[in-house]
Structure 1
Amino acid sequence: MNQQRDTREERHRTRQDEIIMAARQCFRQYGFHAASMGQLASRANLSVGQIYRYFPSKDALIEEMVKRIVDNRVAAMSDHVDAQHIAAMLAWRETLSEDDEMLMLEVAAEASRNPRVADILQAADAHIFSNACRKMRLNYPHLSDEHITACVEVLAVLVEGTAFRRLTPQKASAISLQTLYQQLIHHIIKHSEDK
């Protein structure tokens, strides 16, 4: 009995993964707003009704997709969040996934039109922000919570701004930018230590 249930759950997860993959492709090609459930169903080789068995709405699909992107970012954050790594990532415009970055820009655009997607984006931001604060607290335990929050906010602006800037050619050398980012991050953390 348990084996049958496990097999059903595995099939369910596999089908959800296939739908999410098809949704990612459609959303990248058409944008969230313009992608239809019919296009998504066609890409997933399913009927629209079958998709609705797994996800009750396009917003539910977006929510699951964003959750997976954020979970991947949080997992990566566990390994690579220190000032030097962040400076290098920003300067060289590195990303965990170019596709995820572009999809999150689509989420931000859709959030400006759709209150439900705005809520999804806020929840995702709260999750990743709290994890970044926790990681910074581990690296700099002597800093106050207020200063950690302020530092993470500035770093979030730099990271998210860099995601947007990836759409244009970089105007300065990555080597020069890395030095400036290191100095900036050091100054932010040092300034917080002095308070």
Structure 2
Amino acid sequence: MARKKDEALHQRRKSEILAGARACFIEKGIHQTSMQDICQRSQISPGALYRYFASKQAIIEAIAAAEQQSNADLIDHLKGAKDPANALLQALPELLDHILDHDFARLMVEISSEASRNPAVQKLFAAIDDQFQHDLNNIFAARRKFGPFGDADHTAHQIFVLLALIDGLVARAANDDLPPREQLEAMLHKTIQALFK
């Protein structure tokens, strides 16, 4: 029984540290944030922090793992669908909740900035993006057996446009430069339908 309580405490403390790190990254930028900054924001001693994360890079990797899991959840939803485009439309409200969150969007902008000067961060998030694109390509290419949906190159182009659209929305969300949610969702619904028609 005690082990379960300890594990729950461990996970809660880890989540608190990650939340503190995200807040620091958003406010100061990843490059300018120190482990001491994260300690102060998370109200934890340096010794305790290092028991959870050995370095700032380890914290970034934990943030990357969370993003990878979010991608995997969407992939799992699309995999079971006969029509992945329709499944994507069904998942659109939840997807927008995630990518249009102001803090998430600002964090992604900071990660992109850090990746431009830190090869380790660039490699980490590029691998996540590549895997997501690969999985989406496979799912949408497989639907060709249900009808004439174009060749593999066409599918790759569709996925490229979809991901570019998502990236653009994240950038605009970081700057609070978006139309009202209901209007945006309706526009995206039509756009995705047209893209995968």
TM above 0.5, yes or no, is yes
The Cα shift of 1:35 comes to 1.4
Inter-CA distance 141–162: structure 2 relative to 1 (3 Å threshold): farther
**Deviation digits for residues 51-91 of structure 1 (CA, Å, limit 9, x no counterpart):** 122111111101111221332243245558636839x77xx
Q: Relative to 1, partners in 2 of residues 1:98 and 1:58: Cα closer, same or farther, differing over 3 Å?
A: same
Please, what is the CA RMSD of the aligned residues? Answer: 3.5
Quote the residue 1:182 is aligned against: 190
Q: 1:49 aligns with which of 42, 47, 55?
A: 47
Give the Cα separation in 2 of the matches to 1:8 and 1:59: 25
- How far off its partner does 1:168 sit? 5.6
Provide the TM-score with structure 1 as the length reference.
0.73
Q: TM-score of the superposition, structure 2-length normalised? A: 0.73
The answer on whether the counterparts of 1:74 and 1:131 sit within 8 Å (CA) in structure 2 is no
1:177 Cα deviation (Å)? 9.5
Q: Given that residues 95 and 101 in structure 1 are in contact (C-alpha distance below 8 angstroms), is that contact kept between their aligned partners in structure 2?
A: no
Higher mean C-alpha deviation, range 49-58 or range 104-113:
49-58
Q: 1:10 to 1:176 in 2, by over 3 A?
A: closer
Structure 1, 144-153 or 22-31: larger mean CA deviation: 144-153
Aligned to 1:117: 121
2:196 alignment partner, SS class: helix
Tell me the CA shift for residue 95 of structure 1: 4.0
SS at 2:117's partner residue?
Answer: coil
Sort the Cα spacing of 1:15 and 1:149 in 2 relative to 1 into closer, same or farther, 3 A: same
Hey, what's the Cα distance between the residues in 1 that align with 2:184 and 2:23? Answer: 36
Relative to 1, partners in 2 of residues 1:149 and 1:141: Cα closer, same or farther, differing over 3 Å? farther
Corresponding residue pairs, total: 183
Structure 1 residue identity aligned to 2:190: Q
The 2-side partners of 1:37 and 1:188 are apart by 44
CA distance in 2, matches of 1:176, 1:58: 36
Distance in 1 separating the partners of 2:184 and 2:8: 49
1:153 maps to amino acid: F
1:30-57 CA distances to partner (integer Å, 9 max, x unpaired)?
1111111111101111112221221111
Q: 1:170 to 1:17 in 2, by over 3 A?
A: closer
Give the corresponding residue for 2:56: 58
Residue of structure 1 equivalent to 2:81: none
Unaligned segments of structure 1, at least 5 residues: 191-195
Does residue 1:82 correspond to 2:99, yes or no? no
Which residue of structure 1 lines up, in the alignment, with residue 167 of structure 2?
A: 160
Q: Indicate the percent of aligned positions where both proteins have the same amino acid.
A: 27
Could you list the runs of 5+ residues in structure 2 that have no partner in the other structure?
Answer: 79-83
Distance 1:160 1:140, change over 3 A: farther
Letter in 2 for 1:45: Q
Residues 108-154 of structure 1: CA deviation (Å, up to 9, x unaligned): 01000111110111122123223433443465545544433322111
